[in-house]
Structure formats: C-alpha cells, structure tokens
Amino acid sequence: MRNPRKLVFAFIMVFYLMIYSLVVAAIYSNMERWPLWAELIFFIAAGIAWVFPLKPVLRWVSRGDSQDSPRS
C-alpha cells in the first residue's frame, strides 16, 4: 500500500506554497521602490525561507517511509 502521508504532504505543501506566495507578493507590493540590491536580497531570502517551516512535515513523511518498509 502506498504511503498516505505523501498524499497529505502534497496537499499541505500546495496549500502552504499558495499562501506563502500570496504573502510574499503582498509584502513586495507594499514595498516602495527599493534599490535593486535590496530587492535582490528580499527575493533570495523569500526563495529560501519557504522550506524551513516545512521541515517538520518532511521529517514526518520520511518517518512514515521507514516505518512502512518491511524488515528482513
């Protein structure tokens, strides 16, 4: 049987990324015209920061894989 945790994770990730992208877009739209270097730093940080809140969920999904595997 396939791991149902992966399906749950897929829904969580899609919902989270939609909300995250809307928040980042809202923050950016409220920024006045910043210098190019500041915008670059903002987008690099926003592009990396999305993964940190998902780390516990990733651990939960991978823990399910190790528990479901048959023992020899």
Tell me: the pLDDT tens digits for 2-38? 778 888 888 989 999 999 999 999 998 888 888 889 8
Query: Between residues 68 and 33, which one has the greater pLDDT?
Result: 33
Q: What local confidence, expressed as pLDDT, does residue 72 receive?
A: 46
Provide the residue count of the chain. Answer: 72
pLDDT at 22: 96
**What DSSP state is assigned to residue 70?**
P
Distance CA 8, CA 24 (A): 24
Question: How do the domains of the chain map onto residue ranges?
Answer: 4-67
Confidence of residue 68 (pLDDT cuts 50, 70, 90): low
Q: Which of 11, 2, 1 is nearest to 54 (CA)?
A: 11
Residue corresponding to tokens 């992966």: 6
Does residue 2 or residue 47 have the better pLDDT?
47
